């Protein structure tokens, strides 16, 4: 290994863990795999049984397909395995993961995702993505909010898009792009229209490339989001319900760039807050957020 070689964080973590565990000797550089690819390949020992290597690859690939950090319990449920087994897997390959949120994990490096998915055929990727889709579809009608429900309403559209791209099955993508109840729940869980916008963008991308007439309907739905963001009745209703965090999302995400227009908008929100909410204990904080935004 050259002295001036730029080392990736994942590779450095591997060396650090190896030195601590004694699996790497500090005076034997020959024990080190050559860079990231060598590190990845070392995990797939050719002496392992084919079934063992395939199971290992499936666990890795599920994480490569997921759009954000998730818990061991989430992946265990997708794969139909025990949470303890998945937690042991994470511990064994801890240098491959980081944890942006306590108890949730994602791969440390995007190159790892690419490398892992390239080791699978298109059909194998589609099969694993279908496992995720089937799992998420079970969460669509769940009332209680939890990790898997939130992931479903944020990212189901991505996995349906991937399903359409890999297998040509686009019916569910079209269905959910036009499902008002699904979009309403997206808003309730996220407090804004970000998740719906991502879903519409994926729908437009897929169906426009395939010149499908459903694209016109999805474009129309996507256009409606612009007007929903300025729905005065909805904003007043949210203020009456004391949904102040959601109201602030509307305010902070406005695209008005002109100072006069921003002041007008702020004035509207402040008047609405005063008129709709008898208890004004939260008013100073609400006002300070507006002033900061302006």
Position 115 scores a pLDDT of 78
Distance CA 172, CA 130 (A): 12
Say if residues 131 and 78 touch (Cβ distance below 8 Å). Answer: yes
Classify burial at 70, counting beta carbons within 10 Å of its beta carbon; exposed 0-12, middle 13-18, buried 19 or more. buried
Backbone phi, psi, residue 105, to 5°: -135, 150
Asked if residues 147 and 70 have their Cβ atoms less than 8 Å apart, the reply is yes
Q: How many CA atoms lie within 13 A of 34 on its CB side?
A: 2
Q: How far is the first Cα of the chain from the last one, in angstroms, to the nearest whole number?
A: 53
pLDDT mean over 104-116: 83
Angle of CA points 57, 90, 86, to nearest 5°:
75
pLDDT for res 13: 56
Distances in Å between the Cα of 64 and the Cα atoms of 4, 60, 67, 95, 211 are: 30, 6, 8, 15, 30
Residue 31, pLDDT > 50, answer: no
Confidence at residue 52, expressed as pLDDT on a 0 to 100 scale: 77
Q: Are 276 and 236 in contact (CB under 8 A)?
A: yes
Q: Write the pLDDT tens digit of every residue in 205-222.
A: 999 988 788 999 999 999
Map tokens 């990212």 to a residue: 155
**Under 8 Å between Cβ of 24 and 45:** no
Q: CA dist 185 to 182, 230, 259, Å?
A: 5, 19, 33
Range with the largest mean pLDDT of 37-46, 192-201, 222-231, 280-289: 192-201
pLDDT tens figures, 257-292: 554 555 566 656 665 555 555 544 554 555 455 444
What is the average pLDDT score of the chain? 78
Between these two residues, 261 and 234, which has the higher pLDDT value? 234
Q: How confident is the model at residue 182 (pLDDT cuts 50, 70, 90)?
A: very high
pLDDT category at 119 given cuts 50, 70, 90 is confident
Per-residue model confidence as pLDDT tens digits over 55-86: 888 888 999 999 999 999 999 999 999 999 99
- Whether 4 shows a pLDDT value over 60: the answer reads no
Greater model confidence, 30 or 240: 240
| Mean pLDDT computed over 213-241 | 83
Q: CATH code for 1-120?
A: 1.10.10.10
């Amino acid at each position: 290994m050259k002295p001036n070689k730029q080392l990736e964080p994942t590779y450095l973590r591997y060396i650090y863990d190896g030195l601590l565990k004694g699996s790497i000797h500090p005076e034997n550089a020959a024990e080190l795999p050559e860079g990231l690819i060598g590190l990845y390949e070392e995990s797939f020992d050719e002496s392992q049984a084919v079934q063992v290597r395939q199971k290992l690859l499936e666990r890795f690939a599920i994480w490569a397909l997921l759009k954000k950090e998730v818990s061991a319990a989430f992946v265990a449920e997708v794969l139909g395995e025990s949470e303890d087994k998945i937690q042991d897997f994470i511990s064994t390959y801890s240098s491959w993961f980081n944890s942006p949120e306590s108890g949730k994990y994602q791969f440390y490096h995007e190159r790892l995702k690419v490398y892992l998915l390239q080791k699978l055929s298109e059909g194998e990727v589609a099969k694993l993505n279908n496992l995720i889709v089937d799992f998420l579809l079970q969460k669509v009608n769940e009332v209680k909010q939890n990790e898997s429900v939130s992931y479903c309403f944020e990212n189901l559209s991505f996995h349906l898009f991937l399903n359409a791209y890999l297998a040509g099955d686009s019916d569910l993508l079209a269905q959910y792009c036009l499902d008002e109840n699904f979009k309403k729940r997206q808003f309730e869980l996220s407090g804004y229209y970000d998740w719906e916008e991502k879903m519409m963008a994926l729908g437009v991308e897929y169906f426009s490339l395939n010149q499908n007439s459903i694209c016109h309907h999805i474009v129309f739905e996507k256009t409606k989001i612009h007007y929903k963001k300025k729905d005065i009745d909805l904003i007043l209703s949210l203020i009456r319900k004391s949904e102040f965090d959601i109201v602030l999302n509307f305010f902070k995400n406005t695209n008005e760039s002109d100072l006069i227009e921003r002041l007008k908008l702020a004035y509207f929100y402040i008047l609405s807050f005063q008129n709709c909410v008898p208890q004004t204990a939260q008013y100073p904080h609400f006002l300070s957020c507006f002033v900061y935004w302006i």
